[in-house]
Structure 1
């Protein structure tokens, strides 16, 4: 029995020893697998200075700028692991290969598989932009290009220039510049342009590796990235004449604009909650009129308000107990569009909401206080206004309608420093043409005694005779117009009297058709927008200052 126990104990120890050995071997095996995985993966280095060096090219096969190219694949080897970044945006091939090449990264190699659709005797350029980056830090190899020719020579001519906005004159980035051989110009607006590039952040572009020939050049700010001018909200620029390319060309500058859509369309039509009807058009309408076809009463008494640019309209109606409105829009007395507007389930509340200018609670003795409303105002009843000065009711203020706009009323008073004012419009103080009224509304204000107003006068020289110009006073950002004045060679001075202090600049438009607005161009008719020039200076109007300046606008002279 003792022998049996000893044998069992020995067997148990051997079993434990065997299990320990197996566990040790398994642990070592797992460690080896972990180490191999760690070695095989690409790790971000830890510590030390930040990597800022882009990948370097060690080898190109076939070599860059190869001639008589017949290979199906291109292999580019780098000094470190690389990856592709934002390939769709950054990569481009010109001229277009018909079928896009395939790009595949294998560790430190980029393999490019070419399609079978390459043309004979053609120089191809593959541009990578900022799309080739190192694997860890994302440092880009900027503006690398691989160039090859299927013929016996590399085309080497170039065209460069700049792209700006025709109206703001600001340089524009990421605008496509398209080059089309004159023999293929009929594809414009129908098919992709094969030769193209994109402007950089400074609005500059360069088309490289071009062959001799005659071309048309266009700049396109597009929405759908198809290199086809085919959407009404895309902006286009062009040169009136073709380009004859026999040597490198520089300063081929283009200005883009949004053209008048080929087909008129009412973009939006709806009943608003205030009872008005809103219509938005896809272009300006010349001498517009609206007629209601299915309601004689509404047609007779309606009020129509077109925007200053005549690309939208608002209708106010006496009778809103209708389900729909059928309208005809005319341009120059000719029918342009028939519009059906359904009322739907809009809950209408016809209330006049008075608005005040200025709206910052400050008033001065020059502009005083303006009262207006979106809804047409028929009358403001002074008896239903409460005008208080330090809680004391005053009646010796003036209430008068504007001489140019019947929807604006002026409240004038001998405003005093250190006084608090309140104007209360009691319910029904303002009435509209179709029974609309205001709800009670109070407006608190104080007198602005800073007298932050000055005078500014401009005299313009070098004007063409028998030509009208529009002088626009605008803000520094060029997105707000404060005032528009017309000038001619016989009356070329503009004065801004008692104008609010601030920074302004001037834009001058040559109004060739004398219609009081800036007119855009037409790429099909090869007509350009009306020319614009900015006075490259910001003017500061200071309190109680009088300034006078003279400027030449010879840049707008007709050729």
Structure 2
């Protein structure tokens, strides 16, 4: 009986879960390689298997993220057993080549999930390890923010089908590829969102370029390539409107069976109509299509001030933008606070109203639009609306800028984490007034196509995006204060 009980206890002991000991400090260290067979960086490699032994129990978060370069097909078989990884090679290996097995961020400890970042195992089928290396950094072209987790590859040609060598950037955007065989390569980087080791449209990417030298740091600028083949998204946003969501020129959409009013911006085109059709037929870039109307909700009226205080004072007019097409304005419904009547508002287009401000005090002002002051083509009228305007310069800061080595087609932007605050064409001496107190960044880009917006690169044509300069210091704007900045915009 005692023997049976002893065997029973062994069975249960063998099935026990691996659990961390209680108490003490939490484990914050990643697994550590304590041995490998064959040894890491072995030369004259002839084995078909590799055993990696770690100092704690491990798991692989993503086997698909483990890659071997140069390419090895069929892919190796990977097995995790407790504290070790068994790697079975079934592909033929080239002679006199150094191979790198890149585990990326796949290896972590079993209990705490601490990741062993960018672990690599290297071996050579020749008598020496290839010793050339390249290092560099990845930034976003427009913001210059560093990009972690990007795939950086060296390719034999511009077909970019699969990198011959590759690595990943760390959290600071730095990368290092070692053990490279001397030769000619194309360097190319991208965010491999679906981990297929290929660039797919919609992933952040750099322009592929010949690697002329391995010396020094290689800086790659990432951007999102515009998808010109993307299908246009069309939605029926109200009983009187459609939105075509894509960057389209104003003449690339034609409505075939209705008349109405167009409202275009950089991201979408909105079509308004005041009858009740069953469907709308349209032509986009010569291709006919239609959408059945399903939304019976009345459109919401939105009114907002489109120009900032500096432009209002300079132009002596307030610009109000509407999301609904405007039919008429009633001047007796537009007044400044205190009862002083504003100069008669002027309709600039179906979505824009101009309100002159000569009769305003240019201090703290409140423009009031009484209910029904604006009638819309959709049959709606506005509710009571007001805009509070602070014209007092003591509540704002001023930025004085001197520019050297600049181009006449450069655009300056002052921005924060959410929006662009100021935007101006560059000149040698600039004075920007009425900046709200806060902390901002400053950016200048070269507007090569004169569209007043930054344009990214093109992969197929191997064209880089427009030049971008980021001022290194933060702009700390204070009320009733002036800040002087000098910009050297030499490329």
Determine if the TM-score, normalized by the shorter chain, exceeds 0.5: yes
Q: Who is 2:447 aligned against? A: 511
Partner residue of 1:455 out of 394, 398, 401: 398
Q: Is the 8 A contact 2:335 2:341 kept in 1?
A: no
User: Within the alignment, does 1:235 sit opposite 2:204 as a pair?
Assistant: yes
Deviates more, 1:196-205 or 1:35-44: 35-44
Gaps of 5+ in 1: 1-24, 329-335
Q: Who is 2:420 aligned against? A: 481
* Pair 318,250 (structure 1): closer, same or farther in 2 beyond 3 Å: same
User: Within the alignment, does 1:430 sit opposite 2:374 as a pair?
Assistant: yes
Q: Is the 8 A contact 2:334 2:369 kept in 1?
A: yes
Taking the aligned partners of 1:123 and 1:303, their CA distance within structure 2 comes to 64
Taking the aligned partners of 1:470 and 1:458, their CA distance within structure 2 comes to 13
User: Within the alignment, does 1:103 sit opposite 2:78 as a pair?
Assistant: yes
Partner residue of 2:328 out of 373, 376, 379: 379
Q: Who is 2:235 aligned against? A: 270
**Higher Cα Rg, which structure:** 1
Taking the aligned partners of 2:25 and 2:177, their CA distance within structure 1 comes to 38
Q: How does 1:106-185 map to 2 (within 5 A)?
A: 106-182=81-157, 185=158
* Pair 453,368 (structure 1): closer, same or farther in 2 beyond 3 Å: farther
Q: Is the 8 A contact 1:351 1:437 kept in 2?
A: no
Q: Is the 8 A contact 2:30 2:108 kept in 1?
A: yes
Partner residue of 2:262 out of 291, 304, 309: 304
Partner residue of 1:280 out of 242, 245, 252: 245
Offset at residue 218 of structure 1 (A) = 0.4
Q: Who is 1:222 aligned against? A: 192
Q: Who is 2:462 aligned against? A: 526
Offset at residue 147 of structure 1 (A) = 1.5
Q: How does 1:330-349 map to 2 (within 5 A)?
A: 336-349=285-298
Q: Is the 8 A contact 1:509 1:531 kept in 2?
A: yes
Deviates more, 1:222-231 or 1:163-172: 222-231
Offset at residue 385 of structure 1 (A) = 5.8
* Pair 134,552 (structure 1): closer, same or farther in 2 beyond 3 Å: closer
Q: Who is 1:471 aligned against? A: 412
SS at match of 2:99: strand
Offset at residue 177 of structure 1 (A) = 0.8
Q: What do residues 190-249 of structure 1 show as CA deviations (whole Å, max 9, x unaligned)?
A: x33242211110111111211010000001123322222232x223213543435xxx53
* Pair 443,376 (structure 1): closer, same or farther in 2 beyond 3 Å: same
Deviates more, 1:89-98 or 1:272-281: 89-98
Offset at residue 273 of structure 1 (A) = 0.7
Aligned-pair RMSD on alpha carbons?
Answer: 3.6
Taking the aligned partners of 2:430 and 2:46, their CA distance within structure 1 comes to 68
Q: Who is 2:20 aligned against? A: 44
* Pair 508,55 (structure 1): closer, same or farther in 2 beyond 3 Å: closer
Taking the aligned partners of 2:350 and 2:431, their CA distance within structure 1 comes to 22
Taking the aligned partners of 1:141 and 1:228, their CA distance within structure 2 comes to 24
SS at match of 2:210: coil
Taking the aligned partners of 1:217 and 1:513, their CA distance within structure 2 comes to 27
Gaps of 5+ in 2: none
User: Within the alignment, does 1:200 sit opposite 2:175 as a pair?
Assistant: no
SS at match of 1:543: coil
Q: What do residues 142-179 of structure 1 show as CA deviations (whole Å, max 9, x unaligned)?
A: 44322122333322211111111111111101111111
Q: Who is 1:6 aligned against? A: none
Q: Is the 8 A contact 1:270 1:341 kept in 2?
A: no
TM-score relative to the length of structure 1: 0.75
Q: Who is 2:283 aligned against? A: 327
Offset at residue 384 of structure 1 (A) = 4.3
Offset at residue 251 of structure 1 (A) = 0.4
Offset at residue 535 of structure 1 (A) = 1.7
* Pair 166,78 (structure 1): closer, same or farther in 2 beyond 3 Å: closer
User: Within the alignment, does 1:554 sit opposite 2:484 as a pair?
Assistant: no
The alignment of Structure 1 onto Structure 2 pairs a total of residues equal to 484
SS at match of 1:259: coil
More helix by share: 1
Q: Who is 1:212 aligned against? A: 182
Offset at residue 58 of structure 1 (A) = 4.1
